[in-house]
Amino acid sequence: MVDAAASARPDDGAAYYRLALILGALTAMGPLAIDTYLPALPTIARELHTTAALVQVSLSVYFVGIALGQALYGPLSDRIGRKPALYLGLTMFVTASVGCAMSTSVYLLIAFRFLQALGGCSPLVIPRAIVRDHFDQRESVRMLSVLMLVMGLAPILAPLVGGQLLTRFGWRSIFWFHAIYAVVWLAAVVIGLQESLSTARRRQQRVSAILATYGSLLTDRAFMSQVLTGALIFAGLLAYISGSAFVFIELFHVSPQHFGLYFGVNAIGIISASQLNRWLAQRTDAAAILRRVLPVSLVASLALLADAWSGFGGFAGILVPLFIYIATHGFVMPNTTALAMAPHGAVAGSASALLGSIQFILGALAGSLVGAASNGTAVPLAAVIAACGVGAFLIHFVGTLVVIRSPAADMQ
């Protein structure tokens, strides 16, 4: 089902790619805010005269802030428009980034990182809603795949940028970089991004109505099937980010320099898959792509667990199935997002917010499980990823059978 807003798409090539560039750069802000400062954690602990564990809290609270804040920006953007909500979030992100750069204690850093995450939610939630405003389901898959290309560069470039800033200018320069990046793209939003939600389509809702909207979405089996499928694949990705350094460096003696190379290769896998997905979206529907890709995720995750458990295949036996699983993220996320959002154009902001919150909640749980179950082997990491792969497969295929005749399915 396509509403009137979907017909107001940017038809000429320049407008289309300008929209993709701006939305992609905004979506990349979250990964940049995480990955650029990871190389600086030991230095921050030393210069603020604190423990590594306390500095690590500044990373954990960022995930908490991202998970909580998205639930606010979705309804807000449905109420006041996409651009004003972006202005609010980006301004908060800039202010909190400056606060991080000027922090004189780890407790101030933790507090400003939480505020930075609350501001950084808006460029995660709102671009998905803007895509839904402009495009129907098939075109949404193509645009979301373009965003994956831009966003996929972040894990490759961010550690390199962070390391150079740390070496040349100190850890505080990383947060000044965050602030400058946000200011640049705030200006791009002001100048180059048109408001996609007309005044007539804005929803003046009370808190009770907002909660009712979330309740309706949570009980929509078609919506939740797609959201949980994508969120579990994403959770496996965050488990990899949380546990791969230990597995690669400590168990297989990969040097820190080469670890960055492997990290980048996996990111290239996501980028390549997302662009192949963009090509496929012109030729087949999103559900058909998922039916073919999710079994690949399942087999790759189980192969990873089998090797971690048995040791068969050594490092290559870990690396190859891990690469395949991570790459499938580039197929799964654009398609599950488009399928989940397609019937909910009237509440696109709220739907996008709930989708994002569930992703980061499950992702944070997966990362925590890897750490909590650590036993000096690769099994905890592989087991969590395998659980995510199995869960995504079962939820999608069982959910598809259950909701095939639901009203939401018919609307698609």
The pLDDT of 226-250, averaged and rounded, is: 84
Q: How much is the pTM?
A: 0.73
- pLDDT bin (cut points 50, 70, 90) of residue 54 is confident
Fold matches, 6-203 and 205-412? yes
Question: At 342, is the secondary structure helix, strand, or coil?
Answer: coil
Q: Check whether 405 has a pLDDT greater than 60.
A: no
- pLDDT bin (cut points 50, 70, 90) of residue 247 is confident
Instruction: Name 355's Cβ contacts closer than 8 Å, sequence gap at least 6.
Output: 128, 227, 230, 231, 337, 340, 341
Q: What value does the mean pLDDT of the chain take?
A: 82
Give the largest CA-CA distance in the chain.
Answer: 61
Least confident of 85-89, 145-149, 303-307: 145-149
Q: Check whether 196 has a pLDDT greater than 80.
A: no
Alpha carbon of 105 to those of 47, 97, 108, 179, 392: distances in Å? Answer: 9, 15, 5, 19, 41
- Between 56 and 388, whose confidence is greater? 388
- pLDDT bin (cut points 50, 70, 90) of residue 402 is low
- 6-203: which CATH architecture? Up-down Bundle (1.20)
The pLDDT of 171-196, averaged and rounded, is: 92
The pLDDT of 141-157, averaged and rounded, is: 71
Given this model, what pLDDT does residue 263 score? 74
Given this model, what pLDDT does residue 4 score? 43
Given this model, what pLDDT does residue 75 score? 78
Given this model, what pLDDT does residue 384 score? 94
Given this model, what pLDDT does residue 361 score? 84
Find tokens 């606010």 and name the residue. Answer: 72
Give the domain ranges of the chain. 6-203, 205-412
Yes or no: domain 205-412 corresponds to CATH 1.20.1250.20: yes
Given this model, what pLDDT does residue 410 score? 43
pLDDT one-digit tens code per residue, 369-388: 887 787 888 899 999 999 99
**Cα angle for residues 367, 372, 378 (degrees, 5° grid):** 75
pLDDT one-digit tens code per residue, 98-119: 999 999 999 999 999 999 999 9
Given this model, what pLDDT does residue 128 score? 79
Given this model, what pLDDT does residue 46 score? 86
